[in-house]
Structure 1
Amino acid sequence: MYQISNEKFGLFVTELRKKKNLTQKDLAEKLYVSDKTVSKWERGVCLPDVSVYKELCSILGISLNEFLAGEDIAQENIIQKSETNIIEVIRDNINKQKCLKVMKCILVFIFICVVSVIGFTIYRLKKPQNYISPVAKDSIEMQTAELLAGSDGVFVYKFITTDKYKKLKLHIYRYESGKLSDQDKVKMGFEDSGSPKSGEIVMVPDFDNYVIKLIISGDGNKLSTEIPILENVEDREYYGRAATEIQNIADIRYNKQQPLIAFLYDDETMSVPALDDLINSQTEFISNNDYVYYVAFEFCK
Protein backbone atom coordinates (compact mmCIF):
# COMPACT_ATOMS: atom_id res chain seq x y z
CA MET A 1 0.00 0.00 0.00
CA TYR A 2 1.10 3.61 -0.57
CA GLN A 3 2.77 5.03 2.49
CA ILE A 4 5.70 7.13 3.68
CA SER A 5 9.00 5.40 4.46
CA ASN A 6 9.22 3.44 7.70
CA GLU A 7 11.99 5.66 9.00
CA LYS A 8 10.20 8.95 8.31
CA PHE A 9 7.01 7.65 9.86
CA GLY A 10 8.86 6.43 12.97
CA LEU A 11 10.50 9.80 13.56
CA PHE A 12 7.18 11.61 13.04
CA VAL A 13 5.31 9.40 15.55
CA THR A 14 8.14 9.65 18.08
CA GLU A 15 8.12 13.45 17.89
CA LEU A 16 4.32 13.69 18.24
CA ARG A 17 4.21 11.16 21.10
CA LYS A 18 6.78 13.09 23.10
CA LYS A 19 4.94 16.38 22.50
CA LYS A 20 1.87 14.72 24.03
CA ASN A 21 4.00 13.60 27.02
CA LEU A 22 3.17 9.99 26.31
CA THR A 23 5.42 6.98 26.79
CA GLN A 24 5.45 4.13 24.33
CA LYS A 25 3.49 2.13 26.89
CA ASP A 26 0.90 4.91 27.24
CA LEU A 27 0.36 5.04 23.48
CA ALA A 28 0.23 1.24 23.24
CA GLU A 29 -2.47 1.01 25.93
CA LYS A 30 -4.64 3.59 24.17
CA LEU A 31 -4.41 1.61 20.93
CA TYR A 32 -4.75 -1.84 22.59
CA VAL A 33 -1.41 -2.99 21.20
CA SER A 34 1.84 -3.92 22.90
CA ASP A 35 4.57 -1.39 23.66
CA LYS A 36 6.88 -3.56 21.56
CA THR A 37 4.62 -2.85 18.58
CA VAL A 38 4.89 0.91 19.14
CA SER A 39 8.64 0.53 19.52
CA LYS A 40 8.81 -1.21 16.13
CA TRP A 41 6.89 1.67 14.50
CA GLU A 42 9.21 4.27 15.95
CA ARG A 43 12.35 2.33 15.01
CA GLY A 44 11.14 2.04 11.42
CA VAL A 45 10.83 -1.74 11.56
CA CYS A 46 7.22 -1.75 10.33
CA LEU A 47 4.14 0.43 9.83
CA PRO A 48 0.79 0.27 11.69
CA ASP A 49 -2.17 -1.71 10.39
CA VAL A 50 -4.79 0.38 8.58
CA SER A 51 -7.31 -0.50 11.32
CA VAL A 52 -5.52 1.80 13.83
CA TYR A 53 -4.96 4.77 11.50
CA LYS A 54 -7.98 6.75 12.64
CA GLU A 55 -7.47 6.21 16.39
CA LEU A 56 -3.70 6.88 16.15
CA CYS A 57 -4.35 10.18 14.34
CA SER A 58 -6.88 11.17 17.01
CA ILE A 59 -4.47 10.45 19.86
CA LEU A 60 -1.58 12.30 18.23
CA GLY A 61 -3.79 15.23 17.17
CA ILE A 62 -3.11 15.07 13.43
CA SER A 63 -5.18 14.57 10.29
CA LEU A 64 -5.05 11.41 8.19
CA ASN A 65 -3.38 13.40 5.41
CA GLU A 66 -0.61 14.48 7.77
CA PHE A 67 -0.31 10.87 8.94
CA LEU A 68 0.20 9.63 5.36
CA ALA A 69 2.58 12.47 4.53
CA GLY A 70 4.63 12.05 7.70
CA GLU A 71 4.69 15.78 8.35
CA ASP A 72 2.54 18.74 9.38
CA ILE A 73 0.53 20.23 6.49
CA ALA A 74 -0.41 23.90 6.20
CA GLN A 75 -4.16 24.57 6.10
CA GLU A 76 -4.03 25.94 2.55
CA ASN A 77 -2.42 22.72 1.29
CA ILE A 78 -4.80 20.22 2.92
CA ILE A 79 -7.20 19.83 -0.07
CA GLN A 80 -4.36 19.37 -2.56
CA LYS A 81 -2.61 16.86 -0.27
CA SER A 82 -5.86 14.94 0.23
CA GLU A 83 -6.33 14.55 -3.53
CA THR A 84 -2.70 13.47 -3.92
CA ASN A 85 -3.00 10.88 -1.14
CA ILE A 86 -6.17 9.38 -2.65
CA ILE A 87 -4.53 9.08 -6.08
CA GLU A 88 -1.34 7.55 -4.66
CA VAL A 89 -3.28 5.03 -2.58
CA ILE A 90 -5.19 3.83 -5.64
CA ARG A 91 -2.18 3.96 -7.97
CA ASP A 92 -0.25 1.65 -5.63
CA ASN A 93 -3.09 -0.85 -5.92
CA ILE A 94 -2.76 -0.78 -9.72
CA ASN A 95 0.97 -1.55 -9.45
CA LYS A 96 0.22 -4.49 -7.16
CA GLN A 97 -2.32 -5.81 -9.66
CA LYS A 98 0.31 -5.68 -12.42
CA CYS A 99 2.84 -7.58 -10.29
CA LEU A 100 0.24 -10.20 -9.42
CA LYS A 101 -0.61 -10.73 -13.09
CA VAL A 102 3.06 -11.21 -13.96
CA MET A 103 3.49 -13.81 -11.21
CA LYS A 104 0.39 -15.71 -12.33
CA CYS A 105 1.60 -15.78 -15.93
CA ILE A 106 4.99 -17.15 -14.89
CA LEU A 107 3.38 -19.92 -12.83
CA VAL A 108 1.08 -20.85 -15.72
CA PHE A 109 4.04 -20.93 -18.11
CA ILE A 110 6.03 -23.29 -15.86
CA PHE A 111 3.07 -25.56 -15.06
CA ILE A 112 1.82 -26.14 -18.58
CA CYS A 113 5.19 -26.56 -20.29
CA VAL A 114 3.68 -27.68 -23.60
CA VAL A 115 4.73 -25.93 -26.81
CA SER A 116 1.24 -25.34 -28.16
CA VAL A 117 -0.12 -24.08 -24.84
CA ILE A 118 2.99 -21.91 -24.29
CA GLY A 119 2.37 -20.31 -27.65
CA PHE A 120 -1.24 -19.61 -26.72
CA THR A 121 -0.17 -18.17 -23.34
CA ILE A 122 2.39 -15.87 -24.96
CA TYR A 123 -0.27 -14.68 -27.39
CA ARG A 124 -2.61 -13.91 -24.50
CA LEU A 125 0.12 -12.04 -22.66
CA LYS A 126 0.93 -9.88 -25.68
CA LYS A 127 -2.66 -9.29 -26.71
CA PRO A 128 -3.72 -5.68 -25.94
CA GLN A 129 -5.99 -5.34 -22.95
CA ASN A 130 -7.96 -2.14 -22.46
CA TYR A 131 -10.37 -1.96 -19.55
CA ILE A 132 -11.78 0.06 -16.70
CA SER A 133 -12.90 -1.40 -13.37
CA PRO A 134 -13.98 -0.29 -9.88
CA VAL A 135 -11.45 -0.68 -7.10
CA ALA A 136 -12.52 -3.41 -4.66
CA LYS A 137 -14.41 -2.00 -1.69
CA ASP A 138 -12.69 -4.34 0.76
CA SER A 139 -9.15 -3.47 -0.37
CA ILE A 140 -6.85 -1.65 2.04
CA GLU A 141 -6.34 1.07 -0.58
CA MET A 142 -10.10 1.67 -0.86
CA GLN A 143 -10.58 1.67 2.91
CA THR A 144 -7.91 4.36 3.23
CA ALA A 145 -9.43 6.39 0.37
CA GLU A 146 -12.82 6.29 2.12
CA LEU A 147 -11.25 7.59 5.33
CA LEU A 148 -9.74 10.47 3.34
CA ALA A 149 -12.94 11.21 1.42
CA GLY A 150 -15.38 11.70 4.30
CA SER A 151 -18.86 10.59 5.31
CA ASP A 152 -20.36 10.30 1.80
CA GLY A 153 -17.71 7.83 0.67
CA VAL A 154 -15.72 7.66 -2.55
CA PHE A 155 -16.02 5.85 -5.89
CA VAL A 156 -12.74 4.95 -7.57
CA TYR A 157 -12.10 3.38 -10.98
CA LYS A 158 -8.79 2.35 -12.47
CA PHE A 159 -8.19 2.09 -16.21
CA ILE A 160 -5.51 0.33 -18.26
CA THR A 161 -4.96 1.02 -21.96
CA THR A 162 -2.43 -0.20 -24.51
CA ASP A 163 -3.84 1.91 -27.37
CA LYS A 164 -3.14 5.59 -27.89
CA TYR A 165 -6.05 8.02 -27.64
CA LYS A 166 -6.50 11.78 -27.88
CA LYS A 167 -9.04 12.55 -25.15
CA LEU A 168 -10.72 11.13 -22.10
CA LYS A 169 -14.23 12.54 -21.60
CA LEU A 170 -16.77 12.23 -18.82
CA HIS A 171 -20.33 13.01 -19.93
CA ILE A 172 -22.66 14.21 -17.16
CA TYR A 173 -26.45 14.04 -17.63
CA ARG A 174 -28.83 15.65 -15.14
CA TYR A 175 -32.39 14.27 -14.98
CA GLU A 176 -35.21 15.96 -13.07
CA SER A 177 -38.40 13.95 -12.51
CA GLY A 178 -37.44 11.62 -15.34
CA LYS A 179 -36.63 14.33 -17.90
CA LEU A 180 -33.20 15.41 -19.10
CA SER A 181 -32.72 18.96 -17.81
CA ASP A 182 -29.01 19.56 -18.44
CA GLN A 183 -25.87 17.90 -19.73
CA ASP A 184 -22.19 18.74 -19.55
CA LYS A 185 -18.82 17.10 -20.08
CA VAL A 186 -15.37 17.16 -18.55
CA LYS A 187 -12.39 16.23 -20.71
CA MET A 188 -8.63 15.79 -20.63
CA GLY A 189 -6.76 16.16 -23.94
CA PHE A 190 -3.50 14.47 -24.87
CA GLU A 191 -2.85 15.78 -28.38
CA ASP A 192 0.42 17.40 -27.24
CA SER A 193 1.50 14.59 -24.91
CA GLY A 194 1.30 10.85 -24.78
CA SER A 195 -1.99 9.43 -23.51
CA PRO A 196 -1.76 7.70 -20.09
CA LYS A 197 -1.51 3.91 -20.21
CA SER A 198 -3.06 3.71 -16.76
CA GLY A 199 -4.89 6.07 -14.45
CA GLU A 200 -7.74 6.68 -12.06
CA ILE A 201 -11.16 8.32 -12.07
CA VAL A 202 -12.25 9.36 -8.58
CA MET A 203 -15.75 10.59 -7.65
CA VAL A 204 -16.25 12.02 -4.15
CA PRO A 205 -19.87 13.07 -3.36
CA ASP A 206 -19.92 15.95 -0.86
CA PHE A 207 -23.57 16.36 0.14
CA ASP A 208 -22.82 19.03 2.76
CA ASN A 209 -21.56 21.36 0.02
CA TYR A 210 -23.89 20.01 -2.71
CA VAL A 211 -21.12 19.02 -5.12
CA ILE A 212 -19.52 15.87 -6.47
CA LYS A 213 -15.74 16.22 -6.54
CA LEU A 214 -14.13 14.73 -9.62
CA ILE A 215 -10.47 13.80 -10.06
CA ILE A 216 -8.95 12.27 -13.20
CA SER A 217 -5.26 11.36 -13.19
CA GLY A 218 -2.75 9.30 -15.10
CA ASP A 219 1.00 9.34 -15.88
CA GLY A 220 1.53 12.75 -14.29
CA ASN A 221 -1.63 14.33 -15.73
CA LYS A 222 -4.35 15.47 -13.34
CA LEU A 223 -7.70 17.22 -13.61
CA SER A 224 -9.73 18.26 -10.58
CA THR A 225 -13.17 19.86 -10.70
CA GLU A 226 -16.61 19.82 -9.06
CA ILE A 227 -20.07 18.91 -10.34
CA PRO A 228 -22.83 20.96 -8.62
CA ILE A 229 -25.90 19.02 -7.45
CA LEU A 230 -29.43 19.99 -6.36
CA GLU A 231 -28.92 23.62 -7.34
CA ASN A 232 -31.80 25.90 -6.24
CA VAL A 233 -33.73 22.92 -4.81
CA GLU A 234 -35.82 23.75 -1.75
CA ASP A 235 -35.27 21.68 1.41
CA ARG A 236 -32.46 19.83 -0.34
CA GLU A 237 -30.79 19.08 3.00
CA TYR A 238 -33.55 16.54 3.66
CA TYR A 239 -33.06 14.59 0.44
CA GLY A 240 -31.96 10.97 0.55
CA ARG A 241 -29.06 9.98 -1.66
CA ALA A 242 -27.61 6.82 -3.16
CA ALA A 243 -25.47 5.70 -6.08
CA THR A 244 -25.34 2.83 -8.54
CA GLU A 245 -22.16 2.01 -10.48
CA ILE A 246 -20.47 -0.54 -12.72
CA GLN A 247 -19.69 -3.71 -10.77
CA ASN A 248 -17.15 -5.51 -12.93
CA ILE A 249 -14.34 -4.96 -15.40
CA ALA A 250 -15.59 -3.27 -18.58
CA ASP A 251 -13.74 -3.39 -21.89
CA ILE A 252 -13.00 0.09 -23.23
CA ARG A 253 -14.76 0.69 -26.55
CA TYR A 254 -13.15 3.72 -28.13
CA ASN A 255 -15.21 6.68 -29.37
CA LYS A 256 -18.27 5.36 -27.56
CA GLN A 257 -19.94 6.52 -24.36
CA GLN A 258 -20.04 3.81 -21.68
CA PRO A 259 -21.83 3.87 -18.30
CA LEU A 260 -19.80 4.54 -15.17
CA ILE A 261 -22.03 5.68 -12.28
CA ALA A 262 -25.32 7.40 -11.44
CA PHE A 263 -26.00 9.47 -8.32
CA LEU A 264 -29.65 9.43 -7.16
CA TYR A 265 -31.49 11.98 -4.98
CA ASP A 266 -35.07 11.89 -3.71
CA ASP A 267 -37.02 13.48 -0.86
CA GLU A 268 -39.21 10.40 -0.37
CA THR A 269 -38.81 6.72 -1.31
CA MET A 270 -35.73 5.99 -3.42
CA SER A 271 -35.40 3.46 -6.21
CA VAL A 272 -31.82 2.19 -6.63
CA PRO A 273 -31.52 -0.16 -9.61
CA ALA A 274 -28.38 -1.81 -10.95
CA LEU A 275 -26.66 0.56 -13.35
CA ASP A 276 -27.35 -1.69 -16.37
CA ASP A 277 -31.06 -1.76 -15.49
CA LEU A 278 -31.11 2.02 -15.19
CA ILE A 279 -29.49 2.42 -18.62
CA ASN A 280 -31.59 -0.24 -20.35
CA SER A 281 -34.86 1.11 -18.93
CA GLN A 282 -33.97 4.77 -18.48
CA THR A 283 -37.44 6.30 -18.36
CA GLU A 284 -38.83 3.88 -15.79
CA PHE A 285 -36.00 4.03 -13.26
CA ILE A 286 -34.94 7.64 -13.71
CA SER A 287 -38.52 8.86 -13.25
CA ASN A 288 -38.68 6.99 -9.91
CA ASN A 289 -36.18 9.46 -8.42
CA ASP A 290 -36.46 13.24 -8.24
CA TYR A 291 -32.91 13.91 -9.45
CA VAL A 292 -30.42 11.65 -11.22
CA TYR A 293 -26.86 12.57 -12.24
CA TYR A 294 -25.67 9.96 -14.73
CA VAL A 295 -21.97 9.86 -15.69
CA ALA A 296 -20.58 8.07 -18.75
CA PHE A 297 -16.92 7.82 -19.86
CA GLU A 298 -15.50 7.95 -23.37
CA PHE A 299 -11.95 7.35 -24.64
CA CYS A 300 -11.59 9.20 -27.95
CA LYS A 301 -9.05 8.29 -30.63
Structure 2
Amino acid sequence: MDTKKIGAFIAMNRKKKGYTQEQLAEKLGVTNKTISRWENGHYMPDLSLLEPLSKELDITLNELLAGEEIVKEELVEYSEQNLIQAIDYTDKKIKNEHKKISLFIIGIGILISLCAFTVFPSGSSWSSIYSMIGLFLFVVGIFRELKITSLLKKGLVSTILFALLLGIFFIFDYASVTQFKQPPIYRLTTTTLFSDDGNKMIEYQNPFYNVFRINADTSNEYYLIDDKKQYTIDTVPTSPFNVDKSSFEQLKNIKVNILETTVILPIS
Protein backbone atom coordinates (compact mmCIF):
# COMPACT_ATOMS: atom_id res chain seq x y z
CA MET A 1 0.00 0.00 0.00
CA ASP A 2 1.53 3.28 -1.21
CA THR A 3 1.01 5.68 1.71
CA LYS A 4 2.67 8.58 -0.17
CA LYS A 5 0.26 8.19 -3.08
CA ILE A 6 -2.76 7.87 -0.79
CA GLY A 7 -1.66 10.90 1.22
CA ALA A 8 -1.32 13.05 -1.89
CA PHE A 9 -4.77 11.85 -3.05
CA ILE A 10 -6.31 12.81 0.31
CA ALA A 11 -4.72 16.28 0.11
CA MET A 12 -5.92 16.79 -3.47
CA ASN A 13 -9.53 15.86 -2.68
CA ARG A 14 -9.53 17.89 0.53
CA LYS A 15 -8.57 20.97 -1.46
CA LYS A 16 -11.25 20.15 -4.06
CA LYS A 17 -13.83 20.22 -1.28
CA GLY A 18 -12.41 23.53 -0.03
CA TYR A 19 -11.50 22.15 3.40
CA THR A 20 -8.52 23.21 5.44
CA GLN A 21 -6.70 20.53 7.43
CA GLU A 22 -8.29 21.92 10.59
CA GLN A 23 -11.82 21.73 9.12
CA LEU A 24 -11.39 18.15 7.90
CA ALA A 25 -9.87 17.15 11.25
CA GLU A 26 -12.85 18.65 13.09
CA LYS A 27 -15.34 16.73 10.92
CA LEU A 28 -13.50 13.42 11.59
CA GLY A 29 -12.81 14.07 15.27
CA VAL A 30 -9.01 14.03 14.94
CA THR A 31 -6.28 16.67 15.16
CA ASN A 32 -4.99 18.68 12.21
CA LYS A 33 -1.58 17.13 12.93
CA THR A 34 -3.10 13.72 12.17
CA ILE A 35 -4.41 15.00 8.80
CA SER A 36 -0.95 16.39 8.04
CA ARG A 37 0.65 13.02 8.77
CA TRP A 38 -1.81 11.28 6.45
CA GLU A 39 -1.16 13.70 3.61
CA ASN A 40 2.62 13.45 4.05
CA GLY A 41 2.37 9.68 3.77
CA HIS A 42 3.78 9.06 7.24
CA TYR A 43 0.66 7.30 8.52
CA MET A 44 -2.47 5.65 7.16
CA PRO A 45 -5.89 6.50 8.60
CA ASP A 46 -7.22 3.99 11.09
CA LEU A 47 -9.59 1.41 9.67
CA SER A 48 -12.48 2.99 11.56
CA LEU A 49 -11.84 6.32 9.79
CA LEU A 50 -11.56 5.07 6.20
CA GLU A 51 -15.28 5.14 5.46
CA PRO A 52 -15.99 8.55 7.15
CA LEU A 53 -12.98 10.04 5.36
CA SER A 54 -14.07 8.78 1.95
CA LYS A 55 -17.57 10.19 2.51
CA GLU A 56 -16.23 13.60 3.54
CA LEU A 57 -14.06 13.73 0.40
CA ASP A 58 -16.84 12.36 -1.87
CA ILE A 59 -14.69 9.47 -3.08
CA THR A 60 -15.20 5.73 -2.88
CA LEU A 61 -13.39 3.54 -0.38
CA ASN A 62 -11.66 1.79 -3.29
CA GLU A 63 -10.38 5.11 -4.64
CA LEU A 64 -9.12 6.11 -1.20
CA LEU A 65 -7.18 2.85 -0.79
CA ALA A 66 -5.88 3.00 -4.36
CA GLY A 67 -4.88 6.66 -4.07
CA GLU A 68 -6.43 7.54 -7.42
CA GLU A 69 -9.74 7.80 -9.25
CA ILE A 70 -11.11 4.49 -10.56
CA VAL A 71 -13.22 4.04 -13.67
CA LYS A 72 -16.07 1.51 -13.57
CA GLU A 73 -14.28 -0.95 -15.87
CA GLU A 74 -11.39 -1.30 -13.38
CA LEU A 75 -13.56 -1.37 -10.26
CA VAL A 76 -13.47 -5.14 -9.67
CA GLU A 77 -9.73 -5.38 -10.25
CA TYR A 78 -8.97 -2.50 -7.89
CA SER A 79 -11.38 -3.85 -5.27
CA GLU A 80 -9.46 -7.12 -5.08
CA GLN A 81 -6.08 -5.39 -4.96
CA ASN A 82 -7.21 -2.95 -2.30
CA LEU A 83 -8.62 -5.73 -0.16
CA ILE A 84 -5.34 -7.67 -0.27
CA GLN A 85 -3.30 -4.54 0.45
CA ALA A 86 -5.59 -3.51 3.31
CA ILE A 87 -5.29 -6.95 4.93
CA ASP A 88 -1.50 -6.89 4.51
CA TYR A 89 -1.22 -3.35 5.90
CA THR A 90 -3.43 -4.21 8.88
CA ASP A 91 -1.38 -7.33 9.61
CA LYS A 92 1.88 -5.35 9.54
CA LYS A 93 0.40 -2.66 11.75
CA ILE A 94 -0.76 -5.21 14.32
CA LYS A 95 2.68 -6.84 14.32
CA ASN A 96 4.39 -3.46 14.79
CA GLU A 97 2.11 -2.58 17.69
CA HIS A 98 2.73 -6.02 19.19
CA LYS A 99 6.49 -5.50 18.90
CA LYS A 100 6.30 -2.04 20.48
CA ILE A 101 4.46 -3.48 23.49
CA SER A 102 7.00 -6.31 23.78
CA LEU A 103 9.94 -3.89 23.67
CA PHE A 104 8.24 -1.71 26.27
CA ILE A 105 7.80 -4.71 28.59
CA ILE A 106 11.44 -5.74 28.05
CA GLY A 107 12.63 -2.19 28.78
CA ILE A 108 10.56 -1.96 31.96
CA GLY A 109 11.93 -5.33 33.07
CA ILE A 110 15.54 -4.22 32.56
CA LEU A 111 14.90 -0.91 34.34
CA ILE A 112 13.29 -2.61 37.37
CA SER A 113 16.16 -5.13 37.59
CA LEU A 114 18.78 -2.37 37.48
CA CYS A 115 16.93 -0.40 40.16
CA ALA A 116 16.73 -3.53 42.31
CA PHE A 117 20.53 -3.76 42.39
CA THR A 118 21.31 -0.03 42.66
CA VAL A 119 18.50 1.76 44.48
CA PHE A 120 17.83 -0.49 47.47
CA PRO A 121 20.47 -0.91 50.21
CA SER A 122 22.43 -4.15 50.24
CA GLY A 123 20.63 -5.50 53.30
CA SER A 124 17.14 -4.95 51.88
CA SER A 125 15.11 -7.99 50.83
CA TRP A 126 13.22 -5.80 48.35
CA SER A 127 16.18 -6.12 45.98
CA SER A 128 15.47 -9.79 45.37
CA ILE A 129 11.73 -9.22 44.97
CA TYR A 130 12.07 -6.42 42.41
CA SER A 131 14.88 -8.15 40.52
CA MET A 132 12.65 -11.21 40.11
CA ILE A 133 9.75 -9.01 38.93
CA GLY A 134 12.06 -7.28 36.44
CA LEU A 135 13.43 -10.61 35.22
CA PHE A 136 9.89 -11.99 34.80
CA LEU A 137 8.81 -8.97 32.74
CA PHE A 138 11.94 -9.26 30.59
CA VAL A 139 11.22 -12.93 29.82
CA VAL A 140 7.53 -12.15 29.13
CA GLY A 141 8.63 -9.60 26.51
CA ILE A 142 10.97 -12.15 24.93
CA PHE A 143 8.20 -14.78 25.03
CA ARG A 144 5.89 -12.49 23.03
CA GLU A 145 8.50 -12.08 20.27
CA LEU A 146 9.66 -15.71 19.92
CA LYS A 147 9.04 -16.96 16.38
CA ILE A 148 7.87 -20.38 17.59
CA THR A 149 4.40 -21.60 16.74
CA SER A 150 4.14 -24.18 19.51
CA LEU A 151 3.05 -22.58 22.78
CA LEU A 152 4.65 -25.43 24.75
CA LYS A 153 8.04 -24.89 23.08
CA LYS A 154 7.81 -21.13 23.63
CA GLY A 155 7.11 -21.75 27.30
CA LEU A 156 10.04 -24.17 27.57
CA VAL A 157 12.48 -21.75 25.91
CA SER A 158 11.26 -18.90 28.13
CA THR A 159 11.61 -21.03 31.27
CA ILE A 160 15.19 -22.00 30.33
CA LEU A 161 16.01 -18.33 29.64
CA PHE A 162 14.53 -17.31 33.01
CA ALA A 163 16.55 -19.98 34.85
CA LEU A 164 19.75 -18.99 33.01
CA LEU A 165 19.39 -15.29 33.79
CA LEU A 166 18.45 -16.04 37.39
CA GLY A 167 21.63 -18.11 37.67
CA ILE A 168 23.63 -15.11 36.43
CA PHE A 169 21.92 -12.96 39.07
CA PHE A 170 22.90 -15.49 41.76
CA ILE A 171 26.52 -15.47 40.56
CA PHE A 172 26.56 -11.67 40.59
CA ASP A 173 25.12 -11.73 44.12
CA TYR A 174 27.75 -14.24 45.32
CA ALA A 175 30.53 -12.07 43.87
CA SER A 176 29.14 -9.06 45.77
CA VAL A 177 29.14 -11.08 49.01
CA THR A 178 32.71 -12.34 48.61
CA GLN A 179 34.31 -9.24 47.12
CA PHE A 180 32.42 -6.37 48.71
CA LYS A 181 31.31 -8.00 52.01
CA GLN A 182 27.61 -7.38 51.50
CA PRO A 183 24.61 -9.41 52.69
CA PRO A 184 23.30 -11.70 49.95
CA ILE A 185 20.35 -10.28 48.03
CA TYR A 186 18.86 -13.71 47.44
CA ARG A 187 18.20 -15.33 50.78
CA LEU A 188 15.60 -17.65 52.22
CA THR A 189 15.73 -16.50 55.85
CA THR A 190 17.53 -13.96 58.01
CA THR A 191 18.24 -14.80 61.65
CA THR A 192 19.67 -12.41 64.25
CA LEU A 193 21.31 -13.56 67.50
CA PHE A 194 22.63 -11.44 70.36
CA SER A 195 25.44 -12.86 72.51
CA ASP A 196 25.82 -12.34 76.26
CA ASP A 197 28.37 -9.55 75.70
CA GLY A 198 25.91 -7.69 73.47
CA ASN A 199 27.51 -8.51 70.12
CA LYS A 200 25.11 -9.17 67.26
CA MET A 201 25.37 -11.98 64.73
CA ILE A 202 23.21 -12.24 61.61
CA GLU A 203 22.77 -15.41 59.54
CA TYR A 204 21.64 -15.15 55.91
CA GLN A 205 20.52 -18.46 54.44
CA ASN A 206 20.94 -18.62 50.67
CA PRO A 207 19.75 -21.72 48.73
CA PHE A 208 23.40 -22.60 47.98
CA TYR A 209 25.40 -21.20 50.90
CA ASN A 210 25.07 -19.42 54.24
CA VAL A 211 26.59 -16.10 55.24
CA PHE A 212 27.32 -15.15 58.84
CA ARG A 213 27.73 -11.49 59.68
CA ILE A 214 29.66 -11.62 62.95
CA ASN A 215 29.99 -8.66 65.33
CA ALA A 216 27.48 -6.87 63.12
CA ASP A 217 27.43 -3.07 63.14
CA THR A 218 30.71 -2.82 65.09
CA SER A 219 34.27 -1.98 64.12
CA ASN A 220 35.10 -5.70 64.45
CA GLU A 221 32.41 -6.80 61.98
CA TYR A 222 33.39 -9.51 59.51
CA TYR A 223 31.71 -11.99 57.19
CA LEU A 224 32.06 -15.76 57.21
CA ILE A 225 30.83 -17.49 54.04
CA ASP A 226 29.81 -21.10 54.66
CA ASP A 227 29.78 -22.69 51.20
CA LYS A 228 29.31 -26.19 52.59
CA LYS A 229 26.51 -25.20 54.98
CA GLN A 230 28.27 -26.93 57.85
CA TYR A 231 27.49 -24.31 60.50
CA THR A 232 24.41 -22.90 62.15
CA ILE A 233 24.08 -19.60 63.96
CA ASP A 234 24.72 -21.48 67.22
CA THR A 235 27.77 -23.46 66.06
CA VAL A 236 29.62 -21.02 63.78
CA PRO A 237 33.12 -20.18 65.13
CA THR A 238 33.34 -16.56 66.18
CA SER A 239 36.06 -14.17 67.24
CA PRO A 240 35.89 -10.85 69.05
CA PHE A 241 38.16 -9.42 66.36
CA ASN A 242 37.69 -8.66 62.71
CA VAL A 243 39.12 -11.73 60.99
CA ASP A 244 39.95 -9.79 57.81
CA LYS A 245 42.14 -7.43 59.83
CA SER A 246 43.44 -9.96 62.37
CA SER A 247 44.67 -12.92 60.37
CA PHE A 248 47.01 -15.51 61.85
CA GLU A 249 49.95 -14.09 59.90
CA GLN A 250 49.29 -10.65 61.37
CA LEU A 251 49.08 -12.16 64.87
CA LYS A 252 52.42 -13.93 64.31
CA ASN A 253 54.01 -10.65 63.26
CA ILE A 254 52.64 -8.99 66.36
CA LYS A 255 54.13 -11.80 68.51
CA VAL A 256 57.55 -11.50 66.80
CA ASN A 257 57.58 -7.74 67.29
CA ILE A 258 56.74 -8.14 70.95
CA LEU A 259 59.58 -10.67 71.44
CA GLU A 260 62.09 -8.46 69.62
CA THR A 261 61.28 -5.47 71.80
CA THR A 262 61.28 -7.39 75.06
CA VAL A 263 64.00 -6.17 77.45
CA ILE A 264 65.40 -8.65 80.00
CA LEU A 265 66.28 -6.80 83.19
CA PRO A 266 69.13 -8.17 85.36
CA ILE A 267 68.25 -9.62 88.74
CA SER A 268 69.69 -7.55 91.50
TM-score normalised by L of structure 2: 0.35
Structure number, greater radius of gyration: 2
Structure number with the higher strand fraction is: 1
Structure number with the higher helix fraction is: 2
Q: Larger relative CO (CA 8 A, sep 6+): 1 or 2?
A: 1
